[in-house]
Amino acid sequence: MKKKVVVCITGASGVIYAKRLLEVLKNNVNVSLIISNSAKKIITEELNIDWRELKKLADNYYENNDFFSPLASGSNKFYAVVVIPCSMKTLSAIANGYSSNLIVRVCDIALKERRKLILLPREMPLNSIHLENMLKLSNLGAIIMPPCPAFYYKPKNLDDIINFIVGRILDILEIENNLFKRWNKEEG
């Protein structure tokens, strides 16, 4: 049986990471997708595609206001939630248990059911409120993963950088991948 992963796209820059993650997950896991209204606009702005193109990469799609979705219940089993990119508004709502939409609700379920929750916050510089919210969530078991690429593998282009970030997410999801060259000091 395939793992079930919920991918949430919020209104922050960096939707290219979400697109690539969906492309890679397509044949490996069962993907449920939620896209915030702000993210729909950013997808068009940053990727020059209609947000509905990303729906095609998921097995299931739910609107962010759909509290009757199966994802809104803790009895619905899923392996992990990835919020990519994660706006500071969404991060704050998750940290403070303010489940005003389906994205925050599914993250709340991940926390209370002790499932994997991976957040890719896309903001900088960070203020103390951002850092406190991240610390609070990390202490609750969430994995805080700002999309900061490494350069030891000498990326040649933007795709290499995107694949590094997505490959690290796949590592946390325990999905084998070779999207990037791993550190091996012995290789020189």
Structure tokens given for 91 = 């991060």
Tens digit of pLDDT for each residue in 97-110? 999 999 999 999 99
The Cα 72–Cα 81 span in angstroms is 13
Q: Can you give the residue ranges of every domain in the chain?
A: 4-187
* pLDDT tens track for 119-175: 999 989 999 999 999 999 999 999 999 999 999 889 999 999 999 999 999 999 999
pTM over 0.85: yes
Q: Please tell me the predicted confidence (pLDDT) of residue 181.
A: 85
CATH class of 4-187: alpha beta
User: Tell me: the pLDDT tens digits for 109-134?
Assistant: 999 999 999 999 998 999 999 999 99
Distance CA(124)–CA(114), nearest Å, equals 28
Work out the burial of residue 148: count CB atoms within 10 Å of its CB; fewer than 13 is exposed, 13-18 middle, 19 or more buried: exposed
